[in-house]
Structure 1
């Protein structure tokens, strides 16, 4: 897997380390990014199913009278 180097403010890195409970800034950022992506996928799967159900529902053509 390719790796990317990101420069962060030291205070931000320390806050992330404290929130994630890690001793390494690299591990902390990786955990935060992985969690962010997982949350996005969970939210997408919850909201997409309802929208897809309505979108894929067969609409009945109007009944022609007369």
Structure 2
């Protein structure tokens, strides 16, 4: 798997480490990202929103709400 290096605020990383109960900044951030992705997949499964952006050809656009 490809790796990416990013810079994060140290206070954020320490807080994630404490909340996740992990001793490594890398593991803490990875746990948060994996949880975020898993949560998104669970939401898609429950709501069926994976096809929400797909419209039928020729269908009228929805009027603006608000």
TM-score by length of 1: 0.72
- Give how far 1:47 is off: 0.1
The aligned counterpart of 1:40 is 40
Aligned residues: 51
TM-score by length of 2: 0.72
- Which contiguous aligned blocks of 4+ residues in structure 1 show a shift greater than 4 angstroms? none
Larger Rg: 1
Structure 1: unaligned runs, 5 residues or longer: 53-66
The aligned counterpart of 1:15 is 15
Higher helix share: 1
